[in-house]
Structures are given as structure tokens and as C-alpha cells.
Amino acid sequence: MAELLRLRGLIKRFGGLVATDGVDLTVQEGEVHALIGPNGAGKTTLVHLISGALRGNAGSVFFAGEELTHAPVHERVRRGLVRSYQVTSIFTRLSALDNALLAVQAAAGSSMRFWTPVRTERAFTRDARALLMRVGLLDRAEVVAGTLAHGEQRKLEVALALAARPRLLLLDEPLAGLGPEESLHMVELIGGLAGEVTIVLVEHDMDAVFKLAHRISVLVSGRIVATGAPDEIRSDARVRQAYLGDELGSAA
């Protein structure tokens, strides 16, 4: 397996607060790499740093052999580094299909085209419907996204990320706020993706993490304290200490 994403010494400070304190992380092509850690460990900051929504104070981001430390979000997306949001970020006033259409169009090259109506670009509609089908929302295509159920919105969120044909998908707490049944659907969906795309999964739900992940990195106080296969992590003393035993113990 080739290395796809490499973070070196990423530091991000907010005023006096150090959110990430020299993060080194390597993600291999094809793996599902979970990122776990207690609240306030700096997980979300790290997601922002990887996706380009925030720039670090020091350190570098390499993706597929290219340095992207200073690249803006949209260029990282173009190269296949795509994220989903912890708080659902969809076009709430548009239909699910229009959501998917915008995502499909983004992947179809420059949109500096001013003449042809998008309505007549059949390929877009076809791809958008395929995308909705993939996440199981095809029968909800005409529904205004803001009125979808929470679980459906999370699926749409994943669909939007998938449209960019990611090489690496950065999923920021995809299970947040989902009921047990919805969670199950989502875990299934992610599991289905795992063969096709590299996934970095930030998640609190340890059941899901241990079910899906090939490798797990543990972030504590802005540092990676451990990286390894699920079994290694489960037995790591530092991790247990960081989590005060509870969560991991119950998951195990």
C-alpha cells in the first residue's frame, strides 16, 4: 500500500491555546483510518487543517506526493481530498437532486460556462441520480433537503462529498446525532465505500470505529499519542489513560 496523506509537525494555535501541537500522521491508500480522542483533543481542528479550511502555524500537508500545505479548499478537493461536515452542511432550501446536481457539476470541470442551461446537460442529471441511489436517497430526490430526516441529511452530506470522486474522504463524525437504526445504515454505507476510497474517519461511536477502521490514531491534547490496528489501540495503556478507561473498556 502506498502512502496517500502525510501530515508533518502540524501546529495550530488560537491565541494562546494550542489546538494541534505537532501532529504527524500517515494515511495509506485504501485504508479506513479512524481518528479518535476525547472532546477538545483537536480532532475538528485537524480536520480543518487537512481539508484546508484552516491554515496551520507550522508543519506541512502532503497528499499523493504533492505538498498542499498552502492550497485552498477547492484545490485540495480537485486533487481528491474531500471532506464531509460534522454539522450537516447541505443546501437546505434546494431539493436533494439539486444538491447532488451542484456536487456533480463541481466534478465536471470549469463552471465558467455562461450559455448552455444546466437543465439540458443530461449527464449531470444521470450522475446526480446515480449518486442519490448510491446513498439510498433516490426516492427522496425531489424533497427539499432541509425537510429530510436527520439521517437522510447525513446521507446527503456523504453523497455531496462522494460526488467529487475523492481519493481520500474525510468524514467528520458522520454518525453524530443519528438514532441506532440510522447509525446502522450509515455504517453500512461507509463500509461499502471502504473498498473504493481511502477514508479518514473522525468518530465518537467506538462500535462503529472498531468495526470500520483498519488503523486508528488517537489524538490527545493536540498530539497523536498512538497509531495502530484496532487491537493494538484497545490494549494501549496510554490510550486507556487518556480515555480514563471508560469508553474504550465498554467498547471492548
Partner 1 sequence: MGVQLDHPLHAAVALPLLAALIVFPFVVLAIDEPFYVVLASRILIFALVATSLNLLVGFGGMVSFGHAAFLGAGAYVVAILMQHGVASAWIAWPAAVAVAALAALAIGAVCLRTRGVYFIMITLAFAQMVYFVFVSLKAYGGDDGLSLASRSVVAPGIDLNSDTLFYYVVLAFASTGFFLFARLVNSRFGRVLQGIRENETRMEALGYAVHRYKLGAFVLAGATAGLGGALLVNQNELASPGTLSWTQSGMLLTMVILGGVGYLWGGVMGAAALLLMEELLAAYTIHWQLGLGLVLLAVVLFAPNGLATLARAAGPGGRDG
Binding residues (CB under 8 A) for partner 1: these are 51, 53, 72-75, 77-78, 82-83, 85, 89-95, 98, 101-103, 105-107, 111-119, 121, 144, 160-161, 163-164
CB atoms within 10 A of CB 82: 24
Residue 28: burial class (beta carbons within 10 Å; 0-12, 13-18, 19+): middle
CB closer to partner 1, 11 vs 73: 73
Output 16 or 117, the one with its CB closest to partner 1: 117
CB closer to partner 1 out of 69 and 99 = 99
Q: For the CB of residue 212, give the shortest distance to partner 1 in the complex, in Å.
A: 22
Name the minimum Å distance from CB 117 to partner 1: 4
Whose Cβ is closer to partner 1: residue 113's or residue 238's?
A: 113
80: left (phi > 0), else alpha (psi -120 to 50), else beta?
A: left
Contact (CB, 8 A) for 173 and 123: no
Closest distance between partner 1 and the C-beta of residue 89, in Å?
5
Residue 233 identity:
I
Question: Minimal distance in Å, beta carbon 81 to partner 1?
Answer: 10
C-beta separation of 229 from 215 below 8 A: yes
Residue with cell 485504508: 31
